[in-house]
Structure 1
Amino acid sequence: MIPISSVKLGPDVENKVLEVLRSGMIAQGPLVAELEHRFARLQGVRHAVAVNNGTTALSAAIEALEVGPGDEVITTPFTFIATLNAILETGATVRFADIRAEDFGLDASSVEAQITDATRLLLPVHLYGQSVDMTPLVALAEKHDLRIIEDSAQAHGARYEGRGVGSFGVGTFSFYGTKNLTTGEGGIITTDDADLADRLRILRNQGMRARYEYVLAGHNYRLTDLQAAVVLPQLDTYDELVATRRAHAARLTSSLEGIEGLELPRQLEGREHVWHQYTVLLPVGVDRDQVVAALAERGVGSGIYYPKLVHDYDTYRSRADVIPSSTPVAEDVVRRCLSLPVHQHLSDDDVDAVARAMREVLAA
C-alpha cells in the first residue's frame, strides 16, 4: 500500500535524541531555544515561542491577544477541529465565512459580511501547505481594527508575496507526527511583537517570569528538549524535503490533467506551496467513498481532509457560541475533496502508480 503519509526519521534524529538523553536535560532547555531561533528565521519573523502542540499554540495566541468571552472570531468552517476547539476554549464566539476553492482559504468578501461590533479577531487557515490570500484580509483587519492569527499548522515555510506565513499576524504551527516538520506532538507561535512573545513565554510556563515569580495565570504548555531534538535535524534538510514534495505534486498534476471534472490543486501566483497535502476536488456526482475503496484495492492510500464542516457535528449544533452562516463553496468542497500521497518518501514509480490508479478509478 502506498500510504497517504509516512514518517521516517533517520540516524541524525536518533543521535540527537541520544545526546539529550545522555545530557540529563530532557525538559525545556537549550534545544528548544535553538528550535525557536531557527524557526523564526525560517518564517522571517523576530520571535518564535515553542509549545507542546498545535492546538495550545492557537489557544495561547488567542489568550495572549486577550480575546475571550463577549468577543467574536471569524474563521473558516473547512479546517481541522482544533481551530474551532481552541477558539471555544478561550470563551469567544465563532462565526464562519466562506472559502475560495482555488486555495481552500478564507474569502475576504465573505469575511467582511460576517464582521459585527463584537468581532475582535480574524483566523484564516493556510490549508494543505499553501497560503491564504492575505492582502485583502490584512486590509480588512486594518479597516475594522481587528487582530489576525494565522493557523499555519500545515504550512511550515510557505510564503505569500515573499513573506512567510505567520508573519502577517500571529502565526501558529503544529509539529504533529504527520506534518512536514514533526516532533510527534508540538507546536510553535510566531510574532514580530516582542511584548507579545514575552507574554506567550510566561503563559506557557505556568505564568512565571522567573522561578516562583508568577505574573499571570498561566498553563503548562512547554515543549521538551527531547521533542526539539527530533525536529532540529529535519530543519537541516527541509529545503530538500519541500523540493521533493513539489516535484511529486508537479508529476501528479502532469499525469492527472485532462480528466473531465477533476479539479487539481495549483500553486497560485505569488505563493510558495509546501504541499503538506495534494488535494483534488472530485468530479460532481462521483461517489467519494467508492473512489477511496477502489484506490485502496489498487494499493493506493488516500485521505479525506475534511469529511464535514467543523460546525456540522451534533456536539456543536446547539451551542450559542458557534454561529454558522451560508458557505456554499465550503459546502461543495467538503463533499468533493480527496487527498492523494505526495510525501517525500515516495519514489517516481509510486507517484506514477498513484496517478495511474486515479485515472483507472475515474474512468470506470
Structure 2
Amino acid sequence: MAVAVAVTRERREGETRCAVTPETVKKLIALGATVTVEAGTGLGSSIPDADYAAADATVAKDTKAALAGADVLLKVRGPTAQEISALKPGAVVVAMLDAYREKDTVEALKTAGVTAFGMEFVPRITRAQVMDVLSSQANLAGYRAVIEAANAYGRGFPMMMTAAGTVAPAKVFVMGVGVAGLQAIATARRLGAVVTATDVRPATKEQVESLGAKFIAVEDEEFANAQTAGGYAKPMSAEYMAKQAALTGEHIRKQDIVITTALIPGRAAPVLVTADHVASMKPGSVIVDLAIENGGNVQGARLNETTVTANGVAIVAPANLPGRIAADASALYARNLTAFLDLMIKDGALVLDLEDEILKAAVVTHGGAVAHEGVRG
C-alpha cells in the first residue's frame, strides 16, 4: 500500500512557492507514494494543474479533498488551523515551520497528534546537503537581493567607457557572508560592481576573496573564535561590536549599495546598519535588508516597503525574496523535500526512524508533545 502524500495551496500572504513540482511528483511515486495536489497549488510558480495530472498526481478540488486520508502533508510554510484539523492523528507534516516564531502553529500540531518536521532544522552535514532548504532558498535570495538593489539604484553597476566619458562602477558592500551573502557577492561581481564584504566568522574571509571581493573586519582574538561547530555565527561581545561598527561605519559611508544578510538562529537579527550609518551615505545610495522578516539588520527598514530617507537613501526591505523567483525556488525546495521523504518511505510504507540524525534534528512535534528541545525551551 502506497504512502498518501498531499500538497495544498500556500495560504500565507505573498507566498508564491509550492512544495511539489511535476518532476518531484514522479520521484515521489517512484519512492512508493501517491500524490494528491490541491487545485491551484502551482499557479504562483507557473505550474498549471494539468502538468501535475500529466505527472500522475491526483488534482483535488479543495483542501478537504486533498487531505482526505493523507499520511504526509508537504508545505512551504506551516499549515493553517484548517489544514491541521483535517489531518488524521499520526500524520506527518513537512514544511518550513519557522518554529521559533510560529508558536501557535507548533501548539496546534502538537495538540492534533501530528508528527511535524521543520525543514529549517535539517542539520548542515554532508549527508543532508541535498535536503538543505536554508541553503537552496538563501542562494536565490542573495541573487534576488542584488536584482532588487539594481532596480532601486539610479545608476549602472559596471564601469563603462564611452566616447562621452567613463561611468564609474558601483561599490557594493555585503554584510553577512552565509549562502545568501556569497551569492550576492557573486551576482554583484558578475554585474561589474566593486564588491567588499564582512562577517564575524573567520572562515568566510577566504570565501569572500575567492569570489574576487575584499574582506572587511576587525580581525582580533574574538573574531578568530566567532563561529560555532555547526558553522553559524556566535553572538559577539558589545566591545567587539563597537569596534566592528566603527570600521564598517566608515566603510558604509563610501558605498553605493549595502546588502545585509545576517541572521542568528532562534534570535532576532542583529542591527548592523544604524540610523547614523544611513545618514552618512550619499543621496541615491541603496540598502537591501534580507533579514527584515526576523526584525531586520537596518534601522528604519519596514517590511515589504522601500523607505527613502531624508538624505535620499533608499532602504529596501522585501519579504520572501525566493518567492520572487518562485519557479526556481519551488523546483529546488521540492527536490529538498523529496530527498527528505526518501528517509521515511520504505517499500511503500511510512517508517519514522527518529534515531536517524537528520530526522531527529528536524522533528518539532511527535506523539502529542513538542519534541525539539530548542523550540520546547
When normalised by structure 1's length, the TM-score is: 0.31
When normalised by structure 2's length, the TM-score is: 0.31
- Give the structure, 1 or 2, with the largest relative contact order (CA under 8 Å, sep 6 or more): 1
Structure number with larger C-alpha Rg: 2
